[in-house]
Structure 1
Amino acid sequence: MDDDAETKYHFAPDGEVLSVAVGKSAQVLANGERLTPSVAERLRRELPLLAHMVTF
């Protein structure tokens, strides 16, 4: 990830947190993992209140 990546944090009412970092190269990390279809699917299951934010 680029040193100047922008990270945003999204909080659910149940206390779960989704962090999303986007670098200059447009690489996206969600909770520290490169966002792929399988990672997106797992995050939707693990963070149901934030699932609408996880897209690929």
Structure 2
Amino acid sequence: MSQKSGREAWTGATFALSGEGEFSIELTYDDVSDFSQGTERREIWIRKYLGENSAIDWR
């Protein structure tokens, strides 16, 4: 969709819904061509949105 409109294609989207029903979306335009940085990008996202001491069970 963004390619057709002449806009840069986004590479990530974070959706948030508050307890009061407010909705937000953050689009990112990061260079994702280096797949070896995927783990680092995920860890940065977790710290930013879930907090420094978040524990995630990936099972």
Q: Same fold (TM over 0.5)?
A: no
More strand by percentage? 1
TM-score (norm 2): 0.31
Higher alpha-carbon Rg: 2
TM-score (norm 1): 0.32
Which structure is richer in relative contact order (CA contacts within 8 A, separation 6 or more)?
A: 1
